[in-house]
Structure 1
Amino acid sequence: MSLTSCSSRLNGFDAYSGTIYSAKTMNVCSSVTYPVEEIRVNVGDKVKAGQIMAVLDTESLSTDLDKAQLTLKVLAV
């Protein structure tokens, strides 16, 4: 962890402001490309394994699935 900060005296106490960077970072990627409907975390939030961080637009996913299923039915005939 690294900390970049500046300090000052405030009401007799040392006050610090800055940014703390985690020693561990993780790239997040998806195997599909669809619009994001909802983001459920904020920058700096702690997350757990398996936690949902974002929700994709399921309407466009459903439309693409319907098209793919129709194509399969047509090809099977």
Structure 2
Amino acid sequence: MILELSALIPLLNACQTQVDASILKRLIDNESSRNPYAIAVVGATSVNQPNNIDDAIQIATQLEKDGFNYSLG
């Protein structure tokens, strides 16, 4: 699931107060490619990327149990 730009821009405008929405969009594109389920693990070269919320929760739960430092979305 990739967030479409038409859905992303209103969210950015609603959530930001001092940063231009175009900068936030570039940041999101770079960090997660607009994948709301993206998971990045510090020190890992790759991680199986979830395609849905249930898979994301399962992967994050296991990473937490294993003591990894990670970021979501």
Q: Give the TM-score, by structure 1 length.
A: 0.26
- Greater relative contact order, per chain length (Cα 8 Å cut-off, separation 6+): 2
- Specify the structure having the higher radius of gyration (Cα): 1
Higher strand share: 1
As a proportion of its length, which structure holds more helix? 2
Superposition TM-score, scaled by structure 2 size: 0.27
